[in-house]
Amino acid sequence: MPKRHNPQKPTANLLVAVLVYDGLCTFEYGIAVEVFGLPRPELGPGWYRLVTCAVEPGPMRACGGLRVEADQGLEALETAGTIIVPGWKGPDVAPPRPLIEALQRAHARGARLVSICSGVFVLAATGLLKNRRVTTHWRYAGRLAAAFPDVIFDADVLYIDEGQILTSAGSAAGLDLALHLVRRDHGPDIANHVARRLVMPAHRNGGQRQYVEKPVAARERSRLSDLLDEMRDRLEHPYTISELARSAAMSERTFNRRFLDATGQTPGAWLVMARVDRARALLESGDLSIEEVARRSGFGGPATLRHHFRRQLGVSPTDYREQFGAAGRRLAHEPTL
């Protein structure tokens, strides 16, 4: 049996309550059930107990054409040690007042509040995230900032543990956060055991920046568009501000101002992001050496590539290729002997 340590005092209550609502995000709900709801007799006594809590009268629909009916209502939140919000109906859908008040009471008595992906909008509606660092899926960043400007959003993490309040990035990052909770409550050996059962790493490197489809700002339709296209085509060229300004028929000062207006970035920052984007594509699509990837993406050498790649995406080029590259995909499909 894996070695277990004694749960910390704040998490001695191992009753986990999962919210169920009409339009339930099935995958996010499944994460909570898989980690906290399955019986694990091999781990001995002291495992989690899971209950489902209806946010509204049922039966309710879930994504995928399912109908769900919860064990209990919001009264279960009065005794749970951990409450999980598995996604939400949408960033613009206000949570009902009884749910907000139940979460506020639960937090006041010391319960942990956990959100997966868009579930952060429910926690934000309680007012408990004010001046707290949180995360959610990168595509919700702008809407979260607009709706809750006093919440501190961090785009470069898979999850954030603020003690009583924990938030995860996109849907699958909920698994990372769930394993973190197991590690926090029961120790690394138990967390590693659960991770092996899930056939996933107990800890993933890097944040969610490596998954963003287009890290470059999308405000580029301007008189600079032809120049931007040319820069993308010749990323290996050692550009200077004076050269770029001449190509755009502007003074350097005007060029810098217009470039920032069009892209939201300085020319140097834009070039770094464009080169990182090219390096990502090369790492994903082929088996080029790191040296060749660095040359073709405009970084010149491996050291410069590694520096900017890790700074922008939080992982090394080698780790990125192992996750998303052709060699990694082949390995994932090879039969086990």
Domain's final residue, options 185, 210, 235:
210
Domain's final residue, options 210, 245, 278:
210
Task: Identify the H or E element spanning 166.
Answer: strand 165-168
Domain co-membership, 309 together with 232: yes
Domain that holds residue 41: 9-210
Q: What is the pLDDT of residue 335?
A: 43
Whether residue 55 contacts residue 20, with contact meaning beta carbons closer than 8 Å, is answered with yes
Tell me whether residue 294 is in a domain. yes
Domain's final residue, options 146, 179, 210:
210
Domain co-membership, 271 together with 180: no
Q: What is the pLDDT of residue 87?
A: 95
Whether residue 295 contacts residue 275, with contact meaning beta carbons closer than 8 Å, is answered with no
Q: What is the pLDDT of residue 8?
A: 42
Segment 275-278 long-range contacts (CB within 8 Å, at least 24 positions apart): 275/235, 275/299, 275/308, 276/215, 276/308, 276/309, 276/312, 276/313, 277/214, 277/215, 277/216, 278/232, 278/235
Q: What is the CATH number of the domain that holds 264?
A: 1.10.10.60
What count of other Cβ atoms lies within 10 Å of the Cβ of residue 124?
23
Supply the pTM of this predicted model. Answer: 0.64
Domain co-membership, 191 together with 236: no
Q: What is the pLDDT of residue 296?
A: 92
pLDDT tens track for 298-317? 999 999 999 988 887 778 89
pLDDT tens track for 161-213? 999 999 998 888 899 899 989 988 998 888 888 988 887 766 665 555 545 55
Domain co-membership, 182 together with 59: yes
The structural domain count of the chain equals 2
Domain co-membership, 100 together with 161: yes
DSSP 5: P
Rounded CA separation 202/195 (Å): 5
Q: What is the pLDDT of residue 232?
A: 87
